[in-house]
A and B are shown apart, each in its own frame.
Chain A
Amino acid sequence: MTEVLQKLWDVRVFLAAVVLFAVGFVTLLLHRNLMKKIIGLNIMDTAAYLLLTALGFIEGRLSPIVLGENTDPLLYVNPLPAGLVLTGIVVSVSVTAVLLALTVRLYKRYHTLDLDVIYATAMKEHGVN
């Protein structure tokens, strides 16, 4: 029992990332409101950032800002995940902006944010029965 608890405690931050990812994924799938779908996608992005930064973190080490001549790699945490998360955040902002703009267009056209209503209306318009 203690081994299992120890194992779970060792991966606690990754488990938090999985829970966050699950929240976002279920929000994305189960809500019919387009805004809530976009919020779910953003929560999933956040889970990915949490996983990446947690993988690079090593307890008791400094942030990778090299002061003086001390370039011992055992002193600093991994600088690479920070760069990757930076890329992810920028891409996520762009994707969110484009999604919101598309949602605005859909709302202007169909006067609703409900994806099922939009889909049914669009099928009817194109003569699919």
Chain B
Amino acid sequence: MKNGKKRSIKAFLRDWDAGRFDLDAAAAEPYSAAPEGESAEGTATPEESLPRRDVKAYRAVYPLLAAMLGAIMIVFLFLAVLDLPAFGKAGNPSENEVVRRYVESGLSETGAVNIVSGVILDYRAFDTLGESHVLFTGLAAVLILLLELDGKKEEPDLGLIRMKADSILGTAARLLIPIIVLFGIYVILNGHLGPGGGFSGGAIIGAGLILYAEAFGYEGLERFLNFRSFRIICLAALWFYSISKCYSFFCGANGLHTVFTTGTPGRILSAGLILPLNIAVGVVVACTMYGLYSLFQRGRI
């Protein structure tokens, strides 16, 4: 351990059992997988090497208590579900005046043919702004947890995780990536006219970027999507969303339809701000998907 030798989990536990566990050395030691040969030999499993009686008792009681808690919860949920109205029948309590209002005047008030888009990006735009920020905050938390800040380059085994020379993957990716990205753009731009929107289209574009990174490596993507441009794009999209909808938040969701007209329903340039907001949301989602993948695979964007 002192001379940087790699240790298995079992050796780690054995040291800990004998009181030879050095906290500072373990914290300073980088992660290392267990060697191949050592995992097969040895008889001490983690359970047997733990000496404490109360831990053993806890382990014996915990599954019983957990199963009982699960059973009680399932029985209560089952009873609650039996009282719900029948599935798929008209006249459910969920079919109330809110839904009637959304369907009846959603088209004329928001200009969006897709009522769901009108609901989430106009009536409930504040909710969607919160969602985008939840996604961004999650990315920031992962960034803090996984980014290698001290500059030590711990390059993972590239032969294991990246199949750069794989010709099947390369050919398939060359055929698929343009279609995937084009389809994602279509889904984003079509969000107010049909099924789709910023979240689904952004996820599709993110999948295309991930496929590119997997097939051809990160070098091509880093020309336009490095950490600097990543920050600028994400923050610009969130800022655009916040500023363009702030009038609505301050006016109690009373839109300014004299400035942003709803246009002719069914045209691509209609529905006021819903199309730009969809684009902003799609950009944030695509960046977040790709950023999460890149962070988990190699520790940086």
Q: Which residues of A contact B (CB under 8 A)?
A: 7, 10-15, 17-18, 21-22, 25-26, 29-30, 54-59, 63-67, 71-76, 78-83, 86-87, 89-91, 93-95, 97-98, 100-102, 104-105, 107-109, 111-112, 114, 116-117, 120-121, 124-125
CB contacts under 8 Å to A, within B95-131, are 95, 98-100, 102-108, 113-116, 119-120, 124, 127-128, 131
Residues from chain A with Cβ under 8 Å of B135 in the complex: 90, 93-94
Residues from chain B with Cβ under 8 Å of A73 in the complex: 99-100, 103-104
> B138 contacts A78, CB within 8 Å?
no
> B115 contacts A76, CB within 8 Å?
yes
Complex-state Cα separation, A93 to B135, whole angstroms: 8
Q: Return the contact of B73 from the options A25, A67, A102, A125 (Cβ within 8 A).
A: A25
> A120 contacts B106, CB within 8 Å?
no
Residues from chain B with Cβ under 8 Å of A72 in the complex: 103
CB distance from B284 to the nearest CB of A (A): 10
25 A-B pairs within 8 Å (CB atoms) are namely A7-B82, A10-B89, A11-B87, A14-B87, A18-B81, A22-B73, A30-B66, A30-B67, A63-B195, A66-B106, A67-B113, A71-B106, A72-B103, A73-B99, A79-B103, A79-B119, A83-B119, A94-B138, A95-B138, A101-B142, A112-B9, A114-B46, A117-B50, A125-B21, A125-B23
In the complex formed, the residue of A with least CB distance to B194 is: A65
Task: Across the A-B interface, give the 6 residue pairs with the lowest CB-CB distance, nearest first.
Answer: A94-B138, A10-B86, A59-B88, A64-B115, A29-B66, A101-B145
Main secondary structure of the interface of B (DSSP, over half): helix
Q: Return the contact of B141 from the options A22, A74, A79, A98 (Cβ within 8 A).
A: A98
B70 CB within 8 Å of chain A: yes
Complex-state Cα separation, A125 to B19, whole angstroms: 10
Residues from chain A with Cβ under 8 Å of B105 in the complex: 71
Question: When A79-B102, A93-B135, A94-B138 are in contact, do A120 and B52 touch as well, CB less than 8 Å?
Answer: yes
Q: Return the contact of A83 from the options B69, B116, B138 (Cβ within 8 A).
A: B116
In the complex formed, the residue of B with least CB distance to A58 is: B90
Question: When A58-B89, A58-B92, A86-B120 are in contact, do A121 and B55 touch as well, CB less than 8 Å?
Answer: no
Residues from chain B with Cβ under 8 Å of A74 in the complex: 90
Q: For chains A and B in complex, what number of residue pairs have CB atoms within 8 angstroms?
A: 184
CB distance from A121 to the nearest CB of B (A): 6
> B46 contacts A117, CB within 8 Å?
yes
Q: Return the contact of B98 from the options A80, A82, A101 (Cβ within 8 A).
A: A80
Complex-state Cα separation, A14 to B123, whole angstroms: 28
B264 CB within 8 Å of chain A: no
Q: Which residues of B contact A (CB under 8 A)?
A: 7, 9, 12-13, 16, 21, 23, 26-27, 30-31, 46, 50, 52, 55, 59, 63, 66-67, 69-70, 73-74, 77-78, 81-82, 84, 86-90, 92, 94-95, 98-100, 102-108, 113-116, 119-120, 124, 127-128, 131, 134-135, 137-139, 141-142, 145-146, 194-195, 197, 199, 265, 292, 295-296
CB distance from B250 to the nearest CB of A (A): 22
Question: When A26-B70, A55-B92, A57-B88 are in contact, do A64 and B103 touch as well, CB less than 8 Å?
Answer: yes
In the complex formed, the residue of A with least CB distance to B58 is: A116
Residues from chain A with Cβ under 8 Å of B128 in the complex: 87
Complex-state Cα separation, A101 to B199, whole angstroms: 22
Q: Return the contact of A97 from the options B30, B31, B55, B292 (Cβ within 8 A).
A: B292
> B95 contacts A58, CB within 8 Å?
yes
Question: When A95-B138, A97-B139 are in contact, do A78 and B99 touch as well, CB less than 8 Å?
Answer: yes
Residues from chain A with Cβ under 8 Å of B7 in the complex: 111
Residues from chain B with Cβ under 8 Å of A76 in the complex: 103, 115
Question: When A11-B86, A65-B194 are in contact, do A101 and B141 touch as well, CB less than 8 Å?
Answer: yes
Residues from chain B with Cβ under 8 Å of A83 in the complex: 116, 119-120, 124, 127
Question: When A29-B70, A65-B115, A79-B116 are in contact, do A94 and B88 touch as well, CB less than 8 Å?
Answer: no
> A104 contacts B296, CB within 8 Å?
yes
Question: When A14-B87, A18-B81 are in contact, do A65 and B74 touch as well, CB less than 8 Å?
Answer: no
